Amino acid sequence: MKIKSLVLTLLLAVLCLGFLPRQATARVNFSYFYESLAPYGDWVDVEHYGYCWQPRYVDPDWRPYTDGYWAYTDAGWTWVSYEDFGSITYHYGRWVRLEDIGWVWKPDYEWGPAWVSWRQSDDYIGWAPLPPDVEFNPDSGIGVWVDRDYDIGPSVYNFCQYRYFGAPVIRNYIVPRRQNVFIINSTVNITNITVLRGHDHDRRMVFNSGPDYRRISGRTEHHIDILQLRRQADGDWARHPRPEFTRRIGGELIMSAPEVEAPQQRFAPPKVTREIRAPRIDKGWAGVSDSREKDRIKQRYQDQTRGLTRATAPATPVDAQTVQTMLNENRSRQQQHRQQQQPQIQQQPQVQQQPQVQQQPQVQQQPQVQQQPQVQQDQQVQQRHRKRDKEKDLREFLQHQAIQQQQAAEAQRRAAESNARDAQAQQENALREQQSRQQQAAVEQQRQAAEANARAAQAQQENAQREQQARQQQAAVEQQRQAAEANARAVHAQQENALREQQARQQQAAMEQQRQAAEANARAVHAQQENAQREQQARQQQAAVEQQRQAAEANARAAQAQQENALREQQARQQQAAVEQQRQAAEMNARAAARAQQVPQAQSAPQPQGAQSSPAAEDNDPRKRKHRDRD
């Protein structure tokens, strides 16, 4: 009866829970991130990225996606973190590493099972946090080109061997980062973050494909179940901003995942510890010291994804029916596995209870058969038939009751297993919280010790600084004295230079005056010389004019004398000519007279030809006439 009452109570509880009103999905803004993450880290303002969150009390070599394990759900590979801030920072936003500062997280409003880039080889599988520049587009998703397009280097990857991939604490199996350069040369990118199509949820579901589940299951040493992801989006996040731990109950993985509204404007956190200007981004290449090796890895990225872009090779969509089929197959395998491992002893309570219940009416109600008349025998036969029918009905009732008891026992066993799992989960959570508190206490002790050491070091530094400041002050005083002396010397030198310059200017002025006086004297002498030259030239000109006048007068007199002489000569010649003419005329007259006297003689005695020329012939001879004129 207790079992029956328990079964009825459970049924009523299930029915009541089924008719409870469903709480509406709550939506939050970025203040949910600011309030939830404030106890575990600091908010900083990073240039180009805006407000980012940096975890506190982590190792210098800490990296995202290391403290936890990978679970496979109906949203693909889902990261389950052991860190208090993991339910937010690994499912919203992106991570980036700043040199000399460390890893910082930039918030985003899109929830995903994990925002990582995947690579695999024959021996290793690796994942790297996506940088803030990688945006999720539901149409194209995030594909195999992500390493090439966003320059994701080997140092930000976490690699482990296949057999350790399903380990519940995977950080113990992540290979040292110095081996990443060697491992990444043999890997290919298999990133495929897309949207789950055909699901019956009221919101978009991001699916993280990554490595093939069947291949992982066949090679890992740890069994990986396919779980039903249940996003806990309902809750009073304003009153209880801290997210609950991710927990597993049976075949479900429950995660805190409120809907985050896209920010309309820049939303500042309540407290910003510092501003980071001009940050140096480490995209994963800081560990590659050889530039040629870096170029080879980048060339390998190019060769593996040649021609593949967000437009030409978007992420491959995943159908919800395919995922549901995998879930059903996994549940069937789990059920068969439990049935094979279930011992036969669990069926003994059914065998023990059934004879006790069935034997009681047979022992109590079985009559003794006696010899009676026929009527009584018929009545007894009828009674026996009725008893057999009643016994049959009783056996069926007892069998039905036994089945109900078995079902109740099975329900109790499942409830006990569920309670045990919940208790184990609570113990694990308590253990994690205790370990986290111990780690925090150890970190706090380390921090206090570090602070004490820092204070001691600071005191030493302060003493050293005081001594250094005293030395610096003495040096400054000495420098001031030397500077004063130098200034005095400089002033004295400046005065001397000024005096020299003044003397030089005075000398230059005197020389200038002397030069000007000399120039004036020279101009005066030159003027006197010019005046003398002008006077001399004037006298010379006058003398020349006088000479010319005298020469002209002389020439005139000479010309006049010549004219007079010529006139005299002409007159003389004329006189001579006249005399000559007179003489010639006299001679002609004489010759004419002589001829006149000689004609009668000639006529009587002829003369030889040419013996004597006549006066007319002599007059016609020019040479004779010329000589005659000269004479």
DSSP labels, 110-138: ---S--EEEEE-SSEEEEEEPPTT----T
Residue where the block lists tokens 């499912």: 91
Residue where the block lists tokens 């080879």: 296
Q: Cα separation of 74 and 70, whole Å?
A: 13
Name the token pair of 469.
């400041």
Name the token pair of 181.
């350069």
Identify whether the C-beta of residue 142 lies closer than 8 Å to the C-beta of residue 193: yes
Please choose, from the candidates 353, 362, 348, 365, the residue with its C-alpha nearest in 3D space to the C-alpha of residue 399: 353
**Rounded to a whole number, what is the largest CA-CA distance in the chain?**
265
Identify whether the C-beta of residue 134 lies closer than 8 Å to the C-beta of residue 142: yes
Q: What is the mean pLDDT of the chain?
A: 79
Query: Does position 354 have pLDDT exceeding 60, yes or no?
Result: no
Query: Does position 152 have pLDDT exceeding 90, yes or no?
Result: yes
Residues with Cβ within 8 Å of 52's Cβ and at least 6 positions away in sequence, in order, are 43, 44, 45, 46, 96, 104, 105, 106, 107
Percent above pLDDT 90 for the chain: 29
pLDDT of residue 164: 94
Task: Please write the tens of the pLDDT for every residue from 372-397.
Answer: 456 666 667 667 766 766 676 666 66
For the chain, report the end-to-end CA distance as a whole number of angstroms: 208
Task: Report DSSP state, residue 278.
Answer: S
Distances (CA, A) of 150 to 117, 144, 260, 265, 310: 11, 11, 26, 26, 12
Q: Is the pTM of this model over 0.85?
A: no
Task: Please write the tens of the pLDDT for every residue from 296-330.
Answer: 999 999 999 988 999 999 998 888 888 888 888 87
Q: Cα separation of 499 and 517, whole Å?
A: 26
Task: Report DSSP state, residue 238.
Answer: T
Task: Determine the average pLDDT of the residues in 28-36.
Answer: 85
Task: Determine the average pLDDT of the residues in 97-119.
Answer: 94
* Domain chopping of the chain, boundaries: 24-340
Identify whether the C-beta of residue 432 lies closer than 8 Å to the C-beta of residue 169: no
Residues with Cβ within 8 Å of 136's Cβ and at least 6 positions away in sequence, in order, are 110, 112, 115, 142, 193, 206
Between 5-14, 269-278, 401-410, 448-457, the lowest mean confidence (pLDDT) is in 5-14
pLDDT of residue 366: 40
Total Cβ atoms within 10 A of residue 541 = 12
Give the strand pairing for 158-161 and 124-129.
antiparallel
Task: Determine the average pLDDT of the residues in 353-367.
Answer: 39
pLDDT of residue 57: 87
Write the single-letter amino acid at 549: R
Task: Please write the tens of the pLDDT for every residue from 275-305.
Answer: 999 999 999 998 888 899 999 999 999 999 9
pLDDT of residue 400: 57
**440 pLDDT tier (thresholds 50, 70, 90):** low
